[in-house]
Amino acid sequence: HESSDSHLVAGLNPQQKEAVEYRGPALLIVAGAGSGKTRVLTHRIAHLIETREAWPSQILAITFTNKAAAEMRERVQALLGDSASGMWISTFHSACVRILRREAESLGLSSTFTIYDSADTRTVLKRIIKELDADTMGFTPASAQAKISKLKNELTDVEAYARNANTNDPQEVMFLAIFREYTRRLRAASALDFDDLIGETVYLFRAFPKVAALYQRRFRHLLVDEYQDTNHAQYSLIRELTLPVAREIVDELDEHGVLVRGLTDASGQIPGASLTVVGDSDQSIYAFRGADIRNISEFERDFPGAKVVLLEQNYRSTQNILSAANAVISNNFDRKDKKLWTADGDGEQITGYTGYTAHDEAQFVVDEIEALRRAGVDYREMAVFYRTNAQTRALEEIFVRSAVPYRVVGGTKFYERAEIKDAMAYLIAVANPLDELALRRILNTPKRGIGPATETAIAQFAEQNDISFRQAMRSAGELGLGPKVTGAITALADLLDEAALMLVPSQAGLDAGTNEGAAKVSDVLLALVEKSGLLTTLRNSRDPQDETRAENVEELVAQTRDFDRENPGASLVDFLTQVSLVAAADDLDDASGTVSLMTLHTAKGLEYHAVFLTGLEEGLLPHQMSASEPGGPAEERRLFYVGITRARKRLYLSLAMSRAQFGEVSVALPSRYLQEIPDGLIDWKQSPGMATSRGGTQGRALNGRGAGYGGARGSDGGVWGTRGRDLERFSVTKNAGAKTEWANRVTGAVRDNGDLALEAGDRIRHTDFGEGRVTQVTGEGTKKIAHVNFDTAGAKKLLIKIAPIEKL
């Protein structure tokens, strides 16, 4: 006899099946990458619904990105065969915004509160620091922001901080003042920053048990993916939501005889929601944001009687890829040893590549992508990862020259462009009239003759009279300003009021409690950008860049049109929320048929047929900033591990021997983690320049680019070939001599021009660029750079020590 839910466990291995079917208060699934954790979560949700143990509305599933949430929703729907509406599958932040908008009143917030992104936060802090003269004490917007964020992630609000602050320490006193003023301003503007979204929800539940009870009763099943990356605030939120709750909510009278919703435990408590979390402590990569690995290791203590399921088999990658991942991560201490394995066989070797420059490396990536495409791999099945956003530049330069369609995930920063922020500020000012930041941004954008002195005068007037900035704008007549300026201010206030009126539903809509009759978001935005003159100013400008800016604003209007179409009945605030949450985490739309470029952090949870890990150099991975952080290098290693384990069939590891960073060209050392991968797993290719300089791989050119990176694996060429097995392994960190030797091996060519003395006027020959004349030599020692005018290739700067050049 087959039950109706059997298709939900068919094809799962016994441990996965157990995890899908287990029923109990708490379930922890710990497993390495690619072992089906997310898949188990998805099947578990479908199983709960299919067996009628839960309504979709009783499910709250938390994922790390909006993209992951959308994917999970789709999969659950596919499994169930019909819509699973009413189910909450979202990020922590989205779930909290939904709750906070509904319950804003309890917190004394407007339900149209603004969400400040990182740039907004810094703008506010910049003003405060300036006003308090805190910069003289070394405070910067970024440093204050980091500290405030850290405190909020630990649920330490300004009052809690004040209680423990050392009042004899002027630094602490000043920080407290900044923190206090920051908190005050966000309050006054009815704004929350990103960390507040979580913290305020926790506070809401703790301070208003009746509100908490509504959600505790509603969500009977909580499921959290990527649990290893939850921070204390998120952990506390989970705890609040899984507390036992009174069986009934009944109305009762308060001490004034007013009817209020009350709780009673007359009929006892119902147990807290059941909690399922999945995670992998080897993939914890957000310690810098307060993520706490202990959330996993202490789960059993926090949730006594919790069931623990271990998954072992990997279904994603080839054994070669997994062996590399195992070898790398085993260098971290303090971890339970687990080895990823697959039944699917070794697969192809990992490909290693050392470029002469970052461009060279990027060219290799693009060439390989084109080769894979010719071999039938879809562009969408390929991804390029890097440690820092700055690395995209070199990559993009080569990508745009090729025919390969690509997109930078989460990095295009469309919403961070000034003109988009301007247009958005108009919308925000309409939705939330208290938002001073938005108002001040648009006060003189486009230019309407309102100078900084006037802006300050309005702000001071607002403060003195304890009214909002917006109200103060209405009192412009009392500020002793000229008639033109006063007129401009009033006109702006009128425009915003008009736009707000457009958003009011018709009487029928009001009666029905719907948005009927209200203008669409796109109509309001168009009215604002046109009537304010924002769009016309950009269109009429002589600055060619303003043309692009105008197009961007038009693109935003187009996006609101899409939003209106896809979300009938949605409000302006819905749109603003979507933008704040999506822009922060990942892209709005998931373009298909393109290669994805993203940081290693963004790559979490995803998988691709082919993965390129680029910039594997000391200083980038591990990142130089991690060196000073306790646990930094271990966290960087986990990041590398996350990157490796995204690959299904093909993994490429690449680096550049020299890289321009912070305006300076430097010789790069291969990442120490590369050395942790055993011999034989990686097939090292050379850079074109280096390969040819070693004599004779030109004939094996790929893609007709002239030089090939095919060959240099001769007797001395196999970069790893001569190195012994594990026994002989040396530690790069302990042995400086070995470090260079090892570095030379990876960079392969051991190209070393010694102290080749070049000076202006010399003629040289370069293996790729041909002949040219040295115009200048700068730098010292190993960083000596020749500025060369090549006869055909143009001007280049070359690192003399390693460039494949000879003096003529």
Q: Which residues are annotated as a binding site for ATP?
A: 31-38
Question: Which among 219, 215, 234, 206 is positioned nearest to 296, based on CA atoms?
Answer: 234
Residue 559 a catalytic site member = no
Decide if 103 contacts 640 (C-beta within 8 A).
Answer: no
Angstrom CA distances, 51 to 48, 84, 218, 572, 628, stand at: 5, 14, 18, 38, 52
The one catalytic residue in 441, 646, 650, 784 is 646
Return binding residues.
31-38
Q: Does 15 bind ligand ATP (CB under 6 A)?
A: no
303 token code pair: 């949730």
Q: Return all residues near 280 (Cβ < 8 A) that are at least 6 apart.
A: 30, 31, 32, 33, 37, 228
Tell which one of 605, 670, 688, 772 touches ligand ATP (CB under 6 A): 605
Q: 65 vs 654, which CB is nearer to ligand ATP?
A: 65
Q: Does 38 bind Mg ion (CB under 5 A)?
A: yes
The Cα–Cα gap between 233 and 230 comes to 8
Which helix (H) or strand (E) is 363 found in, with range?
helix 358-374
Q: 605 vs 619, which CB is nearer to Mg ion?
A: 605
Q: How far is the CB of 28 from ligand ATP (least distance, A)?
A: 14
Question: Which among 215, 243, 247, 255 is positioned nearest to 106, based on CA atoms?
Answer: 215
Q: 644 vs 803, which CB is nearer to Mg ion?
A: 644
Residue 729 a catalytic site member = no
- Rg of the chain over Cα atoms, rounded to whole angstroms, equals 30
Decide if 213 contacts 249 (C-beta within 8 A).
Answer: yes
Sign of CA dihedral 465, 470, 475, 481: positive
Buried b (16+ CB within 10 A) or exposed e, 461-479: bbeeeeebbbbbbeebeeb
User: Which one of Mg ion, ligand ATP, none is in contact with 39 (Cβ closer than 5 to 8 A by kind)?
Assistant: ligand ATP
Q: How far is the CB of 16 from ligand ATP (least distance, A)?
A: 6
CA 588 to chain centre: 13
Tell which one of 32, 410, 605, 619 touches Mg ion (CB under 5 A): 605
The one catalytic residue in 15, 38, 234, 577 is 38
CB atoms within 10 A of CB 564: 17
Number of residues that bind ligand ATP (CB under 6 A): 19
CA 47 to chain centre: 31
Q: Return all residues near 224 (Cβ < 8 A) that are at least 6 apart.
A: 61, 62, 230, 238, 275, 276, 277, 278
Cis peptide before 622 (omega within 30 of 0): yes
Residue 248 a catalytic site member = no
Tell which one of 16, 486, 596, 654 touches ligand ATP (CB under 6 A): 16
What's the one-letter identity of residue 547? E
- Using CB under 6 A, which of the segments 10-18, 190-198, 426-434, 695-703 binds ligand ATP? 10-18
Q: Does 34 bind ligand ATP (CB under 6 A)?
A: yes
Q: Does 341 bind ligand ATP (CB under 6 A)?
A: no
Residue 225 a catalytic site member = yes
Q: Does 297 bind ligand ATP (CB under 6 A)?
A: no
Q: Does 67 bind ligand ATP (CB under 6 A)?
A: no
Residue 38 a catalytic site member = yes
Contacts to ligand ATP from residues 269-288, by CB under 6 A: 280, 283
Using CB positions, name the residue nearest to ligand ATP: 36
Q: How far is the CB of 635 from ligand ATP (least distance, A)?
A: 16
Q: Write each residue from 642 to 661 as x if it is in contact with ligand ATP (CB under 6 A), else as -, in one continuous string.
A: ---x----------------
Q: Write each residue from 455 to 474 as x if it is in contact with ligand ATP (CB under 6 A), else as -, in one continuous string.
A: --------------------
The one catalytic residue in 15, 16, 17, 37 is 37
Residue 578 a catalytic site member = no
- Using CB under 6 A, which of the segments 5-13, 209-217, 589-597, 697-705 binds ligand ATP? 5-13
Q: 38 vs 596, which CB is nearer to Mg ion?
A: 38
Number of residues that bind Mg ion (CB under 5 A): 3
Scanning 503-520, the segments in alpha helix (DSSP H) are 507-512
Report the interface residues with Mg ion, using CB under 5 A: 37-38, 605
Report the interface residues with ligand ATP, using CB under 6 A: 11-13, 16, 31, 33-39, 280, 283, 315-316, 605, 607, 645
What amino acid positions are annotated as catalytic residues?
37-38, 225-226, 283, 646
